[in-house]
Amino acid sequence: MINRRDFLGSMLSTVVVAGTVGFPRFSLAASGSDDPYDYVLTAEPADISLVPGGVTHALCFDGGYPAPIIRGRQGKTLRILFKNRLNEPTTIHWHGLRIPIEMDGVPFLSQPPIAAGEDFLYEFVPPDAGTFWYHPHVNSMIQLGKGLVGAIIIDEAEAVDFDHEEVLLLKNWHVNEDGSFSEFTSPRNAARMGTPGRWETVNGQHKPTFPVPANALTRIRLLNVDNTLIYNIAIPDHSAWVVAIDGSPVNEPYPLQVHPMGPGMRLDLAVVTPAAGESVRIKNAKGRLMFDLVDFQVEASAFKRQAGPVKSLPANPIPKPDLGHAETVNFVFEWEGAISPADKDGNSDPKFWTINRRAWDKMTADYIPDPVARLTLGKSYIFNLRNNTPNSHPIHLHGFIWIVLNSNKKDIVPFHTDTVLLEKNETVQVAFVADNPGRWMYHCHVIEHMKTGLMGYIEVA
């Protein structure tokens, strides 16, 4: 188990630039040295500053935004005492981590909701290193939209060769000019691509400038923690290499051009920073136009890295599916396009999206709908993911990591992921071994799509 002293010592051993520690910029949720936990994490209301001169009455972890970075090590037990100090139930889902179903954080499906004022101990051994994130799976549109999102970094079992690291949370807030929240959704937008926020931030700041050391091999971890937006990541004026997608290392790092990231997705880049006085700008590509996300200003350092190709990260121990004997399961994601149904009181209850012609039904302690598929434990599967809609959908399966095999719309070099961004009218084949027993949520990570039907679960037994 990583104790607080070892954790803080490893953090202080990272880059020192001009007498200051260059990483991290986030608060750390590490517990006291005498506590039997690695972290104590509290969800609570908090006032934060997002827009100039405004106050946002947010929901935060540990009283602020960005949330604390939770950091563990591959193959080592991680114990997180979670305290719910909201005025409503919640849970924590550890997005992308292959952990036991009891720790997955889906209300009723994997654990009872954590009531207001209650605590819950999350304890698991992460088998994979990489960039992951955490968020509730209760009242998701509001709880995520108001700020309950954070990064969980699982370091490799053995140290990897980087001089510096940046963790960047991309989120577009639904706030007005005074900082108050605007509407998170509308039926019109939910039936399309979703309702975008109005204030784009990186780590809670609009177009921030951060210092980085010169001539340093830098690992940039980007996380799309937004409810709705797809970001198209580019660094047009400087060389960058893709080293991991959604937490999983790629076989061979390759130069970044433009990489789309739907909600829930992550991207690890390797960059050798230029000389002091220069800058590295990460941008969001929209068509032919590029818009600034963050500006890294390069400061003098003792590093002497040279630009060029970078080494692969160690592969994670993901079981290899037996494609020759794999069973194929088809999933069609469609737009229902019907008149919004109403509940018994006549209130609108929108359901716009379906998986295999079935919209997700509400789930309670006394009622759990049937799964969209039942899989045999230990067997290999190929999923045909077919998007029959004019909108993109980041499709995420809890508890597993897929290998992406092919697409009918683009050339694919097989890679691992837990979230596949399906373009309109695209069909993608993914494969995996159903080696983790349980009832695993399976949904689009555009929260409005998930809340209006595009969700189900897979049962593995």
Q: What are the residues facing 82 on neighbouring strands? A: 41, 120
Residue where a domain terminates, one of 155, 179, 211: 155
CB-neighbour burial class of residue 128 (10 A; exposed 0-12, middle 13-18, buried 19+): buried
pLDDT tens per residue, range 20-60: 233 344 545 555 555 566 999 999 999 999 999 999 999 99
As a three-state string, the secondary structure of the chain is CCCHHHHHHHHHCCCEECCEECCCCCCECECCCCCCCCEEEEEEEEEECCCCCCCEEEEEECCECCCCEEEEECCCCEEEEEEECCCCCECCEEECCCCCHHHCCCECCCECCECCCCEEEEEECCCCCEEEEEECCCCHHHHHHCCCCEEEEEECCCCCCCCEEEEEEEEEECECCCCCECCCCCHHHHCCCCCCCCEEEECCECCCEEEEECCCEEEEEEEECCCCCCEEEECCCCCCEEEEECCEEEEEEEECCCEEECCCCEEEEEEECCCCCCEEEEEEEECCEEEEEEEEEEECCCCCCCCCCCCCCCCCCCCCCCHHHCEEEEEEEEECCCCCCECCCCCECCCCEEECCECCCCCCCCCCCCCCEEECCCCEEEEEEEECCCCCEEEEECCCCEEEEEECCCCCCCEEECEEEECCCCEEEEEEECCCCEEEEEEECCHHHHHCCCEEEEEEC
What is the model's pLDDT at position 186? 81
Pairing type for strands 327-335 and 380-387 reads parallel
127 in the same domain as 23? yes
Residue 366 lies in a domain: yes
Residue 23 resides in a domain: yes
Residues 142 and 104 in one domain: yes
**Spatial distance between the Cα atoms of 452 and 96, rounded to a whole number of angstroms:** 23
- For residue 9, the model assigns a pLDDT of 37
Domain presence at residue 355 = yes
Would you call 9 exposed, middle or buried from its count of C-beta atoms within 10 A (0-12, 13-18, 19+)?
exposed
Last residue of a domain, one of 261, 283, 299: 299
Closest listed residue to residue 406, CA positions, set 380, 434, 427 = 427
Is 313 part of any domain? no
> Of 252, 284, 299, at which residue does a domain stop?
299
Burial class (CB in 10 A: 0-12, 13-18, 19+), 169: buried
pLDDT at site 410:
93
Together in a domain, 219 and 249: yes
Tokens of 353: 């999206």
Q: Tell me the whole-structure pTM to 2 decimals.
A: 0.89
In a domain, 29, yes or no: yes
User: What's residue 364's pLDDT?
Assistant: 86
Same-domain status, 41 and 171: no
Q: Are residues 148 and 179 in the same domain?
A: no
Q: Is 312 contained in some domain?
A: no
443 and 360 together in one domain: yes
Beta bridge partners, 310, equal none
pLDDT for 362 equals 78
Task: Indicate whether 389 belongs to any domain.
Answer: yes
Instruction: Decide if 195 contacts 183 (C-beta within 8 A).
Output: yes
What pLDDT is recorded for position 86?
97
Same domain, yes or no: 451 and 367: yes
Closest CA to 27 of 47, 49, 42, 45: 42
143 with 188, same domain? no
Question: Do 205 and 93 sit in the same domain of this protein?
Answer: no
Q: Do both 125 and 28 map to the same domain?
A: yes
The total domain count for the chain is 3
182 with 271, same domain: the answer is yes
> How do the pLDDT tens digits run along the chain, 461 residues long?
333 334 333 433 333 333 223 334 454 555 555 556 699 999 999 999 999 999 999 999 999 999 999 999 999 999 999 999 999 999 999 999 999 999 999 999 999 999 999 999 999 999 999 999 999 999 999 999 999 999 999 999 999 999 999 999 999 999 999 999 999 988 778 778 888 999 999 999 999 999 999 999 999 999 999 999 999 999 999 999 999 999 999 999 999 999 999 999 999 999 999 999 999 999 999 888 999 999 999 999 999 998 878 999 999 999 999 999 999 999 988 776 544 555 566 565 566 656 666 677 777 888 999 999 999 999 999 999 999 888 899 999 999 999 999 999 999 999 999 999 999 999 999 999 999 999 999 999 999 988 888 899 999 99
Domain coverage including residue 222? 164-299
Residues 149, 185: one domain? no
Query: Domain with 396 in it: what CATH number?
Result: 2.60.40.420
In a domain? residue 314 = no
pLDDT reported for residue 15: 33
